[in-house]
Structure 1
């Protein structure tokens, strides 16, 4: 399962000296896995972006045609040093994404490679700033959201699963994980039946979903309220995006420490892996393509919601 990988990643990231190169070392035993680290400096410090490729047997990197799956570990930072000591709640998205990659890499060497390629992206910053937010404070980031999307949302990704700690709200009153409706090109579509089925299977419980609004799928920086950054990848791609939220019953600050629950993170990673298996072999779809084309024909494009608005366009 994924608990072993989750604990390994938590142990590596819960460290004031961790960086992207130390995360890359976790994959030294997997020769077919490719890991890239890019250090990017912003106005409030620097962070290390990580891109991990686990190639599939029939993936596009091998000349095949199997779909490519993307897992984005979305967060502001894994730590808020020096104001907070230790791993913050906001780190859960990075932990889940890297644990997913580690498990997929281990599966591959044991003969269980997926059909399609899987890209896993996130970033590592142990000393990120914090950000005031209602009802509880968030983590901020050394770099802006456009930079995050540039390094984390790749053109190769045919499907995007964005994993983010989503505990700083009063909307999701459930501890564990929850999925959003599918977002594509400015449209909030129905919740994927395939993902509901996979969630039932991986959790052993009824599936949990959460509401999102038009505000949530617009870009950060437009001075509009967002539940968090979980659906920010949707502004940077035409591929369908689903937000996998790691959740709590109470409102927990993203900069809170001692608030990460290993079993919930492992559950998120396990769900991500099962979705990766099924999307790359064609048995899971994020949205109904025919219905989407009908919606476009009836109501036109909503891509303006992927931009900063009319003033920015003009």
Structure 2
């Protein structure tokens, strides 16, 4: 069950040496670990030539702040959900249930991050900087990216469960297909919660405008559609505090990702391609494409 996979993920990440535990757990799985400076990225690959490829991307500055606190910080949510979905897929595979889909799981397992100015609380970003991290995190072969990020330190997305963004593609914000909203409704048992995005959210972080989080920043490094999956809260919570993991929300977000993988496996689309075509024909390419920083 997803809850067991979620607890297993938390047990691994909330340890003094999470990387060693993760390596032991993933023996026999296609696993890659890359350290850049003090930042450690892990990439795990599932599948063997499926028709589609999806990336589950856990966005965060770090899972812990060992120089300031003890235990998992709020910012760790992206890594928790990413690992929980991976472990659940592996559990299903052991039971003889496999998806005809390629999935890359990418996240940051670092134990410290840096803080940069932001209101109402400072942002946590990887020690190597957001741009360098994104270049490493975004899978250029993925046809869809589900970007998971703790988004609690704001005054806008204040819900008691995880929230979605609409689809970000080529500098346009496109409505989620109704079928995706249906999946959200079934998983959570309530109406869809949406993150209110502004144009500023689609710009690089060094633009001096408001960004709700780095949830959709990966769009700057891919041509593929992105859906943001935000773990949120009724209260404003900074990313660097401990003791705030909401198990029910994390389980819902993890189960949503799994159901999205099944949906894509079945040929499901996340946005109306004719809508994007209409926008480009009437308005041209989005001006936001000018600031796109291509992965090198």
Per-residue deviation at 1:219? 1.6
Q: Deviations over 1:164-197 (max 9, x none)?
A: 1111111112111110011001111113322211
Counterpart for residue 58 of structure 1 = none
Per-residue deviation at 1:222? 2.4
Between the aligned partners of 2:192 and 2:98, the Cα distance in structure 1 is: 27
Instruction: Check conservation: 1:182, 1:188, Cα contact below 8 A.
Output: yes
Counterpart for residue 206 of structure 2 = 221
Query: Of residues 55, 72, 80 in structure 2, which corresponds to 1:87?
Result: 72
SS at match of 1:36: strand
**TM-score, normalisation: structure 1:** 0.89
User: Greater CA deviation, 154-163 or 190-199?
Assistant: 190-199
Q: Deviations over 1:58-99 (max 9, x none)?
A: xxx43x5x1111110001111112112221000011100111
Which ranges in structure 2 are unaligned for 5 or more consecutive residues?
Answer: none
SS at match of 1:70: strand
Per-residue deviation at 1:308? 6.0
Counterpart for residue 196 of structure 2 = 211
Which ranges in structure 1 are unaligned for 5 or more consecutive residues?
Answer: 56-60, 310-314
Q: Deviations over 1:134-158 (max 9, x none)?
A: 1123323212222222222111110
SS at match of 1:72: strand
Counterpart for residue 119 of structure 2 = 134
SS at match of 2:176: coil
SS at match of 1:196: helix
Per-residue deviation at 1:306? 6.2
Alignment of 1:106-121 (within 5 A): 106-121=91-106
Between the aligned partners of 2:8 and 2:152, the Cα distance in structure 1 is: 23
Per-residue deviation at 1:130? 2.8
Per-residue deviation at 1:263? 2.1
Is 2:31 the partner of 1:35?
A: yes
Is 2:178 the partner of 1:193?
A: yes
Between the aligned partners of 1:40 and 1:186, the Cα distance in structure 2 is: 29
Counterpart for residue 251 of structure 1 = 236
**TM-score, normalisation: structure 2:** 0.94
Query: Of residues 260, 280, 289 in structure 1, which corresponds to 2:273?
Result: 289
Between the aligned partners of 1:72 and 1:147, the Cα distance in structure 2 is: 15
Query: Of residues 257, 260, 269 in structure 2, which corresponds to 1:275?
Result: 260
Between the aligned partners of 2:15 and 2:287, the Cα distance in structure 1 is: 41
Counterpart for residue 300 of structure 1 = 284
Q: Deviations over 1:35-63 (max 9, x none)?
A: 1100111xxxx1111111110xxxxx43x
Query: Of residues 154, 177, 194 in structure 1, which corresponds to 2:139?
Result: 154
Instruction: Check conservation: 1:67, 1:281, Cα contact below 8 A.
Output: no
Q: Deviations over 1:248-274 (max 9, x none)?
A: 111111111111112211211110000
How many residues were matched structurally?
A: 294
Query: Of residues 38, 43, 50 in structure 2, which corresponds to 1:51?
Result: 43
Instruction: Check conservation: 2:56, 2:105, Cα contact below 8 A.
Output: yes
Counterpart for residue 5 of structure 1 = 5
Between the aligned partners of 2:17 and 2:103, the Cα distance in structure 1 is: 28
